[in-house]
Amino acid sequence: MSDRGICCPQCGSVRLRVKDSRPRGNSIVRCRQCNACGARFRSYEYSEADLRSLELDPRLTLRAVRVMASQMLERINEALRDE
């Protein structure tokens, strides 16, 4: 398990500190704090075996893509409203 790909949602920095980590079901929840801007957030880490089974199930992948797409649309709508 590695921290690659995790960065601060506020400023994008990869200099993060792990404040706390605990298991939650099949995943590990880590509370992190950004060293650059101090933002706190949680990340969820899954074992590689879990990720593989997720990739192999097209229905789950489809659901994830749908959720991502609707979130993206929401952001686009918000951005358009702000203009």
- Catalog residues that contact Zn ion under the rule CB under 5 A: 8, 10-11, 13, 34, 36-37, 39
CB 56, min distance to Zn ion, A: 34
Q: Which is nearer to Zn ion, 41 or 46 (CB)?
A: 41
53, 47 in Cβ contact below 8 A? no
CB 11, min distance to Zn ion, A: 3
Cα separations (Å) of 80 from 11, 29, 56, 68, 71? 23, 34, 36, 18, 14
Q: Which is nearer to Zn ion, 12 or 54 (CB)?
A: 12
Give me Rg for the CA atoms of the chain: 16
Residue 62, amino acid? L
Q: Which is nearer to Zn ion, 14 or 69 (CB)?
A: 14
CB 40, min distance to Zn ion, A: 10
